[in-house]
Structure 1
Amino acid sequence: MSDSFLSLIPPILALGLVVLSRKVLLSLSIGIISGAALLNGFEPLPSLGMLYEIVTGIFVSDGGVNTGNVFILCFLIVLGMTAAIISTCGGSRSFAEWAAHRFATRRGTLSFPALLGVILFIDDYFNALVVGNVSRPVTDRHGISRAKLAYTVDSTSAPICILMPISSWGAYIISVFAGMATVSGFAGAGGLEAFLRTVPVNYYALIALLMVGCVVFFGLDVGPMRTHEKRALSGRGLTDPAKGTAADGTGDEPVNPAGRIRDLVLPIAALVIATVTAMIVTGARASSEVTPLSVLESTDVPTSLLCGGLVGWIVALLLARRRGTGNAALGRGLWSGVRSMMPAIWILLFAWTIIEVIDQLGTGEYLAGLVSGRIDTALIPLLIFLIAGFMSLSTGTSWGTFGIMLPIAADIAASTDPGLMFPVLGAVLAGAIWGDHCSPISDTTIMSSAGAQAHHIDHVVTQLPYALIIAGVSAIGYLALGLTGSGSIGLLVALAFFAAAVVVLRRLSRDTRTPAGEPSEAA
C-alpha cells in the first residue's frame, strides 16, 4: 500500500481527531483500527489478529523479551517511584525552597530547565525525563504552567541532541552517513565530517533553541500557551482543572520535614552518572573498535536508562530511610509514583502500536516517493524539509524518517546538484525534528509531557504554534538556500524572519508577562 494515498488516512485521521477531540487514546485507537482494517481488506478477524501480533511484539520479539521497549517502560515506572520518594522524604520541597531564593523571577526560574536541557545533551529520553522531574518543583513554586515547562523541556532535548555528535542521536546519524559514503558528491567526507557539515544548515534545530531563549527572556506566550500561563499567574492551577490534576507522584502524601537538598541532588546525580557509565559500557561491549563515536553508536540506551534509574531509585530509598521515613509513607509514595507514570505509559503503548501499523502501511515510503519526480533544483531543500516534516509528524518517529529520507535526499542531490548534498541532508534532519515536535504520537513528545507531568494534549497544542512559526522561518531559509546556493545566506534570511516574528510575538503576549525583575504572583 506504499504506492497509495490511502496509506495517509490512518495517521491523518488520528492526528486530526487528537486536535479536534483532545482525547489522545481514543484518537490513536481509531487510527490504529482504521489502519489495520485497510491492511486486511476490512476483514475483522485478520485485523484483530494483526493487532494482537503488533501488541505482543511490543513485549516479545524473536522468541524473547523485547528489552528495548520493556526497559523503557520499566524506566518510566522506576523514575516515577524515584521522584515520589524524593518528594516524600522532603528533597523536592527543600530544593524548591532553596531555588526560590536564587530565582526571584519567573524568567530566571524558567531559564533553569532551559539551561539544564542544553547541558544534558547525551540522549533525548534521558534529557526530557530528568530535566522535567528536577525542574518541576522549582517552576511549580513560581507559578509556571506545566505546559510551559513541557515546552521548554521538549524544545531543548531533541534540538540539542541532533546538533551534538557526542549524543545518541549524533552517533546514529553519523552511522547512517557512514553507510552513504559511496554516493556521488558524498565521497571523501566521513560520517563525522558529514554530520558537522549539516549542523549550520539544520535551521529548525538552531532556531528552536533560540526560540526557547526568547520565550524565557521575553515571556512569549501565544495561542493556547497564553491561556495556561494566565491561569497559572492567577493561581487557578498549573494544569487545566477540567482535565483533572496531572499526577506528579506526590498527591497529598505527607512530606518529611527533615528533608535536605541533597535528598534530591544525590539520587539525580547517581542516576546521571550510572546512566552515562552504562551507556559507555554497553557501547564498548558492542563495538568492534572502541572509539568515542563507535561507543555512542553502539550504546544500548534502554538498558542504560534502566540501570541508571535503578541506581537512582536505590540511592533515593537509602536517603529516605536515613531521614526516618516510615514504611507506610514509602509504600504510599512508591504506589503514587507508579500511578503518576501510567498515563504516559498508556500513550506510549498506543503510539508504538500505531507507528507499527503506519510502518506496515508504507506511509513513509509513499511520502518519500513524492520527492522522486521532476523537481526544480531551487525548490529541493524546501521540499525535502516539508516532506521530512510531514513524514515525521505522521509516523511519530524522527529516527525512522532519518533512515528513509537521508539516502533518498542524498540520491536526489547527487543526480541534480551535488553542491546541495549537505544542505538537503540538513533539511531532512530539520524536518524530522519539526514533525517530531508537532506529533502527539512522538515518543519524545510523550516523554516531555511525562517529565513535566503536564497533560499530554495540552503540551502538544501549546507547543504547536511555536513549532509552526519556527518551521515557517526555516522554510523561508531553505527557499533562500535553494535560490542562492548558500547555506549561510539561507541561515541569515531565516534569522531575519525569526527576529521579525519575535517582535510580533512580544506584542501579542504582553498581557501575560510579568515586569522584568519582579517576582511572580505565585512566588
Structure 2
Amino acid sequence: MAGTIFSIIPPIIAILMVILTRRVLLSLGVGIISAALLIEEFSITGTGMVILKAIQGVFYSDGEVNTWNVYIILFLLILGIVTALISISGGSRAFGEWAKKRVKTRAGAQLTAALLGILIFIDDYFNALAVGQVSRPITDRQKVSRAKLAYIIDSTSAPVCVVSPVSSWGAYIIAMIATILTTHGVSEYTPLGAFMAMVPMNYYVISALALVFAVAVFNINIGPMKIHENRAIETGQVVDPNKEVLGEVKEDLPTSDKGTIGNLVWPIISLIIGTVSSMLYTGYSAIEDKADVTIFTIFENTDVSASLLYGGLFGLAITIILFLGKGIKASYLPLALKEGIKSMLPAIYILLFAWVIVDLIGQLSTGEYLAGLVEKSNLDLSYLPVVMFVLAGFMAFATGTSWGTFGIMLPIAGEITAATDINMLLPAMAAVLAGSVLGDHCSPISDTTILSSTGAGSHHIDHVMTQLPYAIIGGGIAAVGYLVLGFTGSSVIGFVSIILLVGAFITIFAKKQKQVVKERA
C-alpha cells in the first residue's frame, strides 16, 4: 500500500486525533500502529514486528548503538537536571534582586525581560518560569502590566529556543532533521548545517522578536493590550482586579537564599562553552586532511549529538560545583536529579514517538503520494513554503503543541520536497518550524502559553487575547516572506522583505503612540 492513497491514512489519523483529543502521544501512537498495519497489510504479527523493529532502530541500528539518538536523549536529561539545580540554588532569585536595583524605566524593565528571554534559551519551560520570576518584580515596580510581561516572555521563549542549537528544542529538531536527511539520502548538508541554514529562513521568529523589542522601546499597544497598559500606568494595577490570575509561580523545589547571580549565569555560559568547544574538537578530529581545516569544514564535520552531550556534562559539573560551593545541602542533589529527569520525560516521549513515525511514514512513501497529488493539481510549488507555514500554524493552534506539530509535519515536508524538488527541503522545513511557533503563540491550550501566563502572574485568557494581535501581525509578515521566498527562490530576498515590513509596522505604530502621548499631555 506504499505510495497509494492509503499511505495518507496514518498521518491523517494522527493529525485528526491530535486535534480532537489534544493528546500528542496517543495520536502519534495510533498513527504508528495504523502505518505498521498498512505496511504489513493488516497482519497482526507483522505489524508488531515492524513497530518493534522501528523502536529498536531508535537505539540500535546497522549492528551498532544509535549514538545520535541516545546522546540526544541524555542531553535532554542533563538539561532537566541543570534546570532543577539552578532553581534550588536560588540563582534566578538572586539575579532578580540584582536587576531590580538597576532598572529605572518602563522601557528598561521590558527590555530586561526581553533580553533575559533571549539569554535563557536552554528550554522554553525553564525560560517562561525563570524569566517570569526574575522580571516580575522589575516590571511591577515600573507599572508594566502583567499581560505585557506575559507577551514578552511567550514571544521570546519558543522563538529563541527554536533557532538555538544548544537547547532542548534545537536538540529535538536537529535529531528530526538528521532522520529526514538520512531517509532521503541528502548528503549536501549535515544535520547541524541544515539547522543553521534554516535559521534565517524562520521568518516568524525574526518578525516576532523584532516586534517584541519594538513594543518595549516604543510602547506599542494594540487591541486589548491598551486596556491593560493604560490601567497599569494610571492606577498602578498591573492586573485586572476583577479577574483571578494564575498566581505566583508554584515552586515544588526548595530555593536557597545563599544563591548569587553566578548560579544562574555560569551554568548557562559553561553549557555554551562546553558544547561549542566539543563541536570544534569533534569536527577537527573528523577531518582526515588537516590541510583543509577551516571553521566551516570543522562545523560541517562536527558530531552534534556527542558535542551536546559533552557540553551538557561540562555544564552539569560546573552547576554542581557552584551548587555545593554555596553550602547548599548535598541531600538536595537526588531531588534535583529526580525532578530534572521527570521534567524532561514528556519531551523525550514525544521525540521517541516522532522518530518511529518518521521511519514508518518513510516506508509508506506518504510524501511521494502527496507530491503526486500536488503535481496533478498543477499547484505551483512556489506556494509550498507558505502552505506548509499555514498548515503547521493551524495544527499547532488546534493542538497547543509545537513539538507534536514538528513530529508530524517535518517528515511530511521532507517527503513532499524529496519527491518534487529537493531544493525546497530547507525552506519547507523552516516554514513548518515557523508555523508551529506561530500556532503555539495563538493557542490558549499551549503549555508554553500557560506557563508564560503563570510565570508573569497574568490572567491566562488576558494573555492569550493581548498576545493574539501581535502574533497575527508577525504571522502575516512571515507569510509574505514565504511567498517571496517561494516565487524568487531566494531566502535573502524573503528575509529583506520581512525586514522592510517590520520596519514599516514599527514606523506607523510608533508614530501613533507618540500622538497618543501628546494627546495625554
Please classify the TM superposition score into its range, dividing by the shorter chain length.
0.5 to 0.7
CA contact (8 A) 1:358 1:395 kept: no
Q: Is the 8 A contact 1:89 1:258 kept in 2?
A: yes
Residue 278 of structure 2 contacts residue 311 of structure 2 at CA under 8 Å; is this kept in 1? yes
Change (3 A) 1:159 1:78: closer
Q: CA deviation at 1:268?
A: 1.8
Unaligned runs of 5+ residues in structure 1 are 162-166, 182-191, 412-420, 441-445, 517-523
Match of 2:29 in 1: 29
Give ranges in structure 2 of 5+ residues lacking alignment: 140-145, 166-170, 233-237, 396-404, 441-445
1:4 pairs with 2:4: yes
> Does the Cα contact within 8 Å between 1:389 and 1:434 map onto a contact in 2?
no
CA distance in 2, matches of 1:505, 1:7: 48
Q: Does the 8 A contact of 2:91 with 2:259 survive in 1?
A: yes
- Which of 382, 396, 406 does residue 407 from structure 2 map onto? 396
1:402 is displaced (CA, Å) by: 8.0
1:90–1:260: 8 Å Cα contact kept in structure 2?
yes
Q: 1:157 to 1:31 in 2, by over 3 A?
A: same
Paired residues for 1:93-492 under 5 Å: 93-102=93-102, 108=108, 111-112=111-112, 114-115=114-115, 135=131, 137-139=133-135, 149-158=153-162, 203-204=203-204, 206-213=206-213, 233=239, 251-253=252-254, 255-288=255-288, 289-372=292-375, 375=378, 379-386=380-387, 396=407, 427-428=427-428, 430-437=430-437, 470=474, 472-476=476-480
Taking the aligned partners of 1:204 and 1:67, their CA distance within structure 2 comes to 33
Q: What CA distance in whole angstroms lies between the structure 2 residues aligned with 1:112 and 1:407?
A: 43
Distance 2:303 2:483 in 1: 38
Which has the higher mean CA deviation after the structures are superposed, 486-495 or 363-372? 486-495
Question: 2: distance between equivalents of 1:58 and 1:95?
Answer: 40
Does the aligned pair in 2 maintain the 1:54–1:353 contact within 8 Å? Answer: yes
Provide the rounded CA distance (Å) in 2 between the counterparts of 1:449 and 1:285.
Answer: 42
Whole-angstrom CA distance in 2 between matches of 1:79 and 1:200 = 26
CA distance in 2, matches of 1:284, 1:451: 41
Cα distance, 1:270 vs structure 2: 1.3
Distance 1:45 1:481, change over 3 A: closer
Contact 1:363/1:395 (8 A) holds in 2: no
Matched, 1:63 2:69: no
2:63 is matched by which residue type in structure 1?
G
* Aligned equivalent of 1:416: none
Distance 1:320 1:67, change over 3 A: same
After superposition, give the CA deviation of every residue in 1:383-429 in whole Å (9 maximum; x if it has no partner).
45425875998763887678667777768xxxxxxxxx9xx788546
- Taking the aligned partners of 1:303 and 1:84, their CA distance within structure 2 comes to 23
Offset, 1:362: 2.2
Equivalent pair of 2:204/2:435 in contact (CA under 8 Å): no
- Aligned-residue offset at 1:451: 11
Going from structure 1 to structure 2, the CA distance change for 1:483 and 1:318 (only over 3 Å counts) comes to closer
Q: How far, CA to CA, are the matches of 1:295 and 1:222 in structure 2?
A: 49
- Please give the per-residue CA displacement for 1:90-114, whole angstroms capped at 9, x wherever unaligned: 2222123223444567865564575
CA offset digits 1:130-187 (Å, max 9, x no partner): 86686464256666787963542222344587xxxxx998x999xx9x9779xxxxxx
Change (3 A) 1:210 1:12: farther
Compared CA separation, residues 284 and 115, structure 1 to 2 (3 A): farther
- C-alpha distance 73-179 of structure 1, shift in aligned 2 (>3 A): closer
Partners of 1:385 and 1:430 within 8 A in 2:
no
- 8 Å CA contact 1:71–1:303 kept in 2: the answer is yes
Aligned partner letter, 1:259: G
With 66-75 and 380-389 compared, the bigger mean Cα shift is at 380-389
TM-score, normalised to structure 1's length? 0.66
User: Are residue 90 (structure 1) and residue 76 (structure 2) matched?
Assistant: no
> How much has 1:477 moved relative to structure 2?
5.0
Give, as a single letter, the amino acid of the residue that structure 2 aligns with 1:61: S
**The 10-residue stretch of structure 1 (286-295 or 359-368) with the greater mean CA deviation from structure 2:** 359-368
Deviation at residue 307 of structure 1 after TM alignment: 1.0
| Counterpart contact for 2:477–2:501, Cα < 8 Å | yes
Partner of 2:80: 80
Deviation of the 1:347 alpha carbon:
2.3
Task: Pick closer, same or farther for the CA change 1:149–1:258 going to 2, 3 Å.
Answer: same
Question: What is the CA–CA distance in structure 1 between the aligned matches of 2:49 and 2:475, rounded to whole Å?
Answer: 40
CA RMSD of aligned residues (A): 5.4
Per the TM alignment, residue 299 of structure 1 is displaced from its structure 2 partner at its CA by 1.4
The aligned amino acid for 1:330 is L
Aligned residue for 2:328, secondary structure, equals: coil
The amino acid across from 1:336 in the alignment is E
Deviation at 1:282, TM superposition (A): 0.9
- The one-letter amino acid of 2:299's match is L
Q: Which residue of 2 aligns with 1:41?
A: 41
Partners of 2:275 and 2:135 in 1: CA distance: 25
Secondary structure of 1:326 counterpart: coil
- Say which SS state the counterpart of residue 331 (structure 2) adopts: helix
| Structure 1 residue 12, shift from structure 2 partner | 3.1
Q: d(CA) in 1 for partners of 2:294 and 2:412?
A: 27
Shift of 1:466: 7.0
The answer to whether the 8 Å contact 2:125/2:448 transfers is yes
Give the match's secondary structure for 1:296. helix
Residues 118 and 156 in structure 2, CA contact (< 8 A), matched pair in contact too: no
Query: Does the 8 Å contact 1:128/1:447 carry over to 2?
Result: no
Q: CA deviation at 1:2?
A: 5.5
Secondary structure (helix, strand or coil) at the match of 2:3 reads coil
Q: Which amino acid aligns with 1:396?
A: G
Residue type of the alignment partner of 2:315: G
- Larger CA deviation: 262-271 vs 383-392: 383-392
In 2, Cα distance between equivalents of 1:264 and 1:319: 10
Percent identity among equivalent residues?
33
